[in-house]
Amino acid sequence: MTATEDLGHPLGGKPGPEPIYSLSGVDKEYSRGSVAVTAITGISLEIGAGEMISLEGPSGSGKSTLLLLLGALDRPSRGSILYNGMELASVSEGELTRIRRNEIGFVFQQFNLIPTLSAAENVEIAAQAGRGAQASSRARDLLEMVGLGNRGDHLPSRLSGGEQQRVAIARALMNGPKVIIADEPTGNLDSASAATVMDLLSKLNAESGVTVIIATHDRDVASRCPRRIRLRDGRIQPDAEE
């Protein structure tokens, strides 16, 4: 049995029809000295399992804050965030860690690859069960999936920006997540590399049913998503959700 067969489909299989996220009246405030700063307010939103959506808006619009909440990296100040029926505002820190490790894959503008590790090792290191023959085989399978099967032994310094981001996507897929959360994933790429990365994310969504949520200020990137949500001043624009 291969590593991929043992873990099921590399991306966790096709989703069911139920919403994977349900948000109601979500606010997030941060303290800046003695002043409370509101990052998002009054966010009510449902995201269906298997959707591909963009969160659009200028700097300061609240899209990155919303991504942190959806990724179980932070808790709301007020309101409810249900992920697969679990209330993220009240589950234990241990459960949040389990969700982040097993069910959500993260892709960032900065590739965050370890420069002294090969592409395959950068993917393998994300394995929840530790490194070993099974994890190594799976990492190679995922690099093949993202079109880098012949780059597994290359250090990041020998890869282009687009290739490094594809390694980062493979790393995000290592534990078979239900959700991919991407924060400006094309922000450091030229237009051709950006198109390649978006082609890959679109293919993963369409063929494997993984939910993809992308925060971006790039309208070309956003236009690749079937559903677009625009934020301004911490609120969803009521006439702009598609």
In contact, 66 and 233? CB cutoff 8 Å: no
- For 33, other C-beta atoms within 10 Å of its C-beta total 6
What pLDDT does residue 131 have?
65
In contact, 119 and 159? CB cutoff 8 Å: yes
Burial class (CB in 10 A: 0-12, 13-18, 19+), 139: buried
> Pairing state of beta strands 179-183 and 211-216?
parallel
What pLDDT does residue 154 have?
97
In contact, 166 and 147? CB cutoff 8 Å: yes
SS3 22: strand
pLDDT digits (tens, 9 = 90+) for 83-112: 999 999 899 999 999 999 999 999 999 999
Could you tell me the end-to-end alpha-carbon distance of the chain, in angstroms, rounded to an integer? 43
Under-70 pLDDT residues of the chain: 1-17, 129-131, 239-242
What pLDDT does residue 17 have?
52
In contact, 124 and 174? CB cutoff 8 Å: yes
Percent of the chain at pLDDT > 90 equals 78
Q: How many CA atoms lie within 13 A of 67 on its CB side?
A: 26
- The pTM assigned to this predicted structure is 0.87
What pLDDT does residue 18 have?
79
Domains, the chain, in order of start with CATH, read 3-16+50-63+102-236 (3.40.50.300)
Which residue carries 């006439």 as its tokens? 239
pLDDT digits (tens, 9 = 90+) for 34-48: 888 899 999 999 999
